[in-house]
Chains A and B, each alone.
Chain A
């Protein structure tokens, strides 16, 4: 089945710096790649997604890139702010399933 790896598991950055989280997947049937943010004590919420026919997508300070050949995709957050502190999950979607990575705990230090 699908296996999603995610790195790093923890990440600390200074406010204003950029943060990058990388994921790999194994099942070539996956063609939709969402990213979820989970703040402490809250439910995960979708923040951005990318489909396999697109290489990059941006939404304000957040961007995702996808290399379908290499089965890599990444989340980039620029000009980080304290409210970006959370756990971020990448996911791959073989057929109708959603398989999540283990998560990255991001801390933005003011």
Chain B
């Protein structure tokens, strides 16, 4: 059974802080993704990675960066948190290829005050 875990379920940070969101998967998946989920906007892709040390920008990368030093771990970094980054953040992983069932983590609800 695939397990995707995220470091925190709830997080409260102040404007300007550097924020790290961690995601770990245990199924040796090559692909990993970070989304943010906002009401009425669905799941929007921030960044994704097909392999270690590899990253690609998604649809809304501004204000974010990522790190993938190990295959099982994909980190999302908010360099200087802002209130408009208050959101639910979901990590996902999948095998490579075009038939991509994504396995999601439980999500991190981030509030920036």
Contacts and interface: CB of A to CB of B under 8 A. Distances in A.
Given A43-B107, A97-B48, A89 B43 contact: yes
A59 interface: no
B90 to A, nearest CB: 7
A18 interface: no
Interface in B37-76: 40-45, 48, 50, 58-59
B101 interface: yes
Interface residues of A, number: 25
A67 interface: no
**Residue in A34, A96, A103 whose Cβ sees the most chain B Cβ within 10 Å:** A96
B16 interface: no
Nearest to B42: A102
Q: Which applies to chain B's interface (DSSP): helix, strand, loop or mixed?
A: loop
B35 to A, nearest CB: 8
A100 B35 CA distance: 10
A45 interface: yes
Interface residues of B, number: 26
Nearest to A104: B42
Given A1-B59, A44-B90, A101 B96 contact: no
Nearest to A2: B59
Contacts of B98: 31-32, 93, 95-96
A11 interface: no
Nearest to A3: B59
Interface of B: 31, 33, 35, 40-45, 48, 50, 58-59, 90, 94, 96-102, 104-107
The 5 nearest A-B residue pairs measured at CB = A102-B42, A43-B104, A100-B43, A100-B42, A103-B42
